[in-house]
């Protein structure tokens, strides 16, 4: 896929206020660790995640997303009236129906002729939303689009802890499948795209590639129906090792397709932003793609795995902290359970 008319005008994020360390989580799990003979420090050692952040209990994703949209449009210096599409792409939503995007659209004060809908695709929802908005801009259907999402991981992490503590039959093998749930953090992010004639920044979206390997759709699965109404917490089980290798294998194939699509080689890539689930995953991904670790901007150590907002949050923080220089070619390397992979290329002005 190639684009000639699309620019990325802003990456923006909202970080939650409450920091929870891996050591704190393991302290709560001490009875399980002692019974199974597991050493404390295992969670940070295996994942590289020192801490993650949570919103207040009961926070609705849409409320945070609306604030992030307003912040992103201010950052882009873009009139809300020109936004032709609002896409809510996180795993977490306010309810099954209507679309969370509807409430966000209203709270953000966007125009009535704006397309409003949710996109759900595990950790790739916001990148899928970017592709949809980019296609609409390239076709001339809209002048600008906002893709936003908010992940609220507190219920998953705390529910996993409570479930492990309450079940005396839990084994080491069971803990291994629940481990990925303890890496989850929270956050909110938005991306603003617009027609190049409207752009002030001039950061072009060049194009990219997308591939799927749905033979591995069962390696990470979770959720619950209407958790607020049913009083249930979300659950997730993950075969972390199998997911690591299947995901990196798919990323390697997507990387080949991406290079052909945008006509870049690894030497052309100045910076990357990756979807980050753990330190080992990130390092293996960069190694297999032939990319130096220092061109990436790691966030997983202090944010944990923030699902669909992980990559755009890394981009927002990386830009804020000067990670990208003028003239850099930037690759966005996204992957989500299912498995699906999207890689996009940007040219920084």
How far from the centroid of its chain's Cα atoms is residue 341's Cα?
12
Q: What whole-number distance in Å separates Cα of residue 118 and Cα of residue 101? A: 6
* 97 included as an active-site residue: yes
* 123 included as an active-site residue: yes
Alpha helices in 83-215 (DSSP H): 100-108, 125-138, 154-166, 172-178
Report which secondary-structure segment, H or E, holds 259. helix 240-262
Q: In this structure, what are the phi and psi dihedrals at residue 23, rounded to the nearest 5 degrees? A: -65, -40
Whether omega for the bond prior to residue 27 falls within 30 degrees of 0, making it cis, is no
Q: What whole-number distance in Å separates Cα of residue 117 and Cα of residue 86? A: 7
Q: In this structure, what are the phi and psi dihedrals at residue 343, rounded to the nearest 5 degrees? A: -130, 130
Candidates 12, 123, 203, 220; catalytic one: 123
Q: What whole-number distance in Å separates Cα of residue 107 and Cα of residue 65? A: 9
Q: Which residues pair with 346 in a beta bridge?
A: 205, 330
Candidates 97, 263, 287, 320; catalytic one: 97
Exposed/middle/buried for 9, CB within 10 Å: 0-12, 13-18, 19+?
buried
Q: Where are the beta strands (DSSP E) in 22-131?
A: 51-54, 83-88, 115-118
| Cβ pair 60, 76 in contact under 8 A | no
Q: Indicate the SS3 state at residue 42.
A: helix
| Cβ pair 123, 163 in contact under 8 A | no
Residues acting as catalytic residues: 97, 123
């Amino acid at each position: 896929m190639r684009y000639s008319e699309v620019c990325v005008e802003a990456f923006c994020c909202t970080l939650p206020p409450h920091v929870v360390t891996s050591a704190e989580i393991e302290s709560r799990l001490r009875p399980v660790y002692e019974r199974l003979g597991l050493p404390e420090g295992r969670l940070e050692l295996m994942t590289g995640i020192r801490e993650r952040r949570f919103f207040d209990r009961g926070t609705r994703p849409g409320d945070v997303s609306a604030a992030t949209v307003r912040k992103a449009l201010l950052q882009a210096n873009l009139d809300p009236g020109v936004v032709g599409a609002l896409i809510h792409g996180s795993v977490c939503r306010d309810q099954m129906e209507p679309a969370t995007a509807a409430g966000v659209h209203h709270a953000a004060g966007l125009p009535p002729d704006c397309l409003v809908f949710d996109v759900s695709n595990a950790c790739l929802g916001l990148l899928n939303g970017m592709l949809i908005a980019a296609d609409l801009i390239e076709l001339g259907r809209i002048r600008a689009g906002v893709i936003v999402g908010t992940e609220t991981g507190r219920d998953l992490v705390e529910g996993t802890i409570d479930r492990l503590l309450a079940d005396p039959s839990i084994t080491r093998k069971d803990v291994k499948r629940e481990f990925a749930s303890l890496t989850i953090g929270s956050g909110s992010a938005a991306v603003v795209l617009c027609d190049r004639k409207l752009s002030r920044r001039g950061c072009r979206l060049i194009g990219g590639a997308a591939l799927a390997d749905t033979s591995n759709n069962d390696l990470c699965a979770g959720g619950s129906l209407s958790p607020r109404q049913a009083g249930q917490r979300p659950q997730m089980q993950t075969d972390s090792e199998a997911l690591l290798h299947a995901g990196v294998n798919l990323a390697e194939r997507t990387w080949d397709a991406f290079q052909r699509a945008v006509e870049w080689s690894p030497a052309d890539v100045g910076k990357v932003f990756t979807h980050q689930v753990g330190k080992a995953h990130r390092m293996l991904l960069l190694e297999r793609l032939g990319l130096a670790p220092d061109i990436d901007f790691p966030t997983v150590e202090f944010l944990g795995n923030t699902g669909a907002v992980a990559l755009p949050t890394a981009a927002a923080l990386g830009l804020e902290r000067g990670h990208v220089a003028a003239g850099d070619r930037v690759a966005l390397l996204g992957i989500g359970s299912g498995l699906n992979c999207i890689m996009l290329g940007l040219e920084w002005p």
